[in-house]
Structure 1
């Protein structure tokens, strides 16, 4: 799971706490918890009231960010780019059916995806 960047640095995916951000049960719980910074509470879009693969992927990104930020707020003019190795592991765990992915979107746009 560990990945070295071009500069030889080890990616955060090697941290023992990282795997929780991929766990479906953790993501299901996190998805259902009301968030102060979500304009509306999204609904599961998968079969039988479950999250879709895309929702798992987007929720994993968000869950990871909250872990890294430890309460720090992001917003317009204050963005954080996820490490490539994190994006790759999340995309491998929750792959797009067509292999196509979108880059960062503003919160209002991404809310429609959840």
Structure 2
């Protein structure tokens, strides 16, 4: 099965399960980026964990916000959970990439209550 076909099947399943339009839109947009990155016609059997890791690196280099980077990887994991459940693939490759930790953000200054009153 090709990646593009697997994505279409899963999105159809989400629609049948009555997922919200916003959820389907977000998943569609995220998976469109992944599908184009992998070339739409890539067979699922040819996708390896390294490809998911390279996709995560690609998103980081594009300057995407941490939340967006994590969103892409999470959605790939959910897609692969479906594919495993349907016995289309045997392993969830989305688990091969750890989500980005946002601890490198700027520290927020906490003001004492006295300053807040002024």
Pairwise TM-score range, normalised by the shorter structure: 0.3 to 0.5
| Structure with more relative contact order (C-alpha pairs < 8 Å, separation 6 or more) | 1
Computing the radius of gyration from Cα coordinates, the structure with the larger value is 2
Task: Tell me the TM-score normalised to structure 2 length.
Answer: 0.33
The alignment's TM-score, normalised by the length of structure 1, stands at 0.34
Tell me which protein shows more helix as a share of its residues: 2
